[in-house]
Amino acid sequence: MEFAIIRPTKTITHQVNWIELESNKGNLVIMPGHAPTFLLTKPQSTVTWESTANAIESLTIGSGIVHVDRTKTTLIIDKE
């Protein structure tokens, strides 16, 4: 699954097995085939994902908007 992180000055794309994040509705794990949705992230939360090389990575964000569809997840964040 493709995971794009859009920042004010750049976009980074990862190929991932899963993504875990805290939304305004609670903790969420996104995997390939997930139902399409839009979410707001919880302020000052951490987004964690597993790359297709099985490496766990994470990013602490201020706030963000997440768009999920069956093959791609896009996270738009407010800071670098």
The whole-angstrom distance between residue 60's C-alpha and the CA centroid of its chain comes to 11
Q: Which fold has domain 2-72?
A: ATP Synthase; domain 1 (2.60.15)
Give Cα separations from 53 to 23, 26, 49, 68 (angstroms): 26, 27, 11, 22
Domain boundaries, the chain: 2-72
Convert the pLDDT of each residue in 37-79 to its tens digit. Answer: 999 999 999 999 999 999 999 999 999 999 999 999 999 998 7
| Two structure tokens written together for 31 | 């995997």
pLDDT in tens, 4-48: 999 999 999 999 999 999 998 899 999 999 999 999 999 999 999
pTM over 0.85: yes
Determine the Cα–Cα distance for residues 33 and 80; give it in Å rounded to an integer. 29
Q: Using alpha carbons only, how large is the chain's radius of gyration in Å?
A: 11
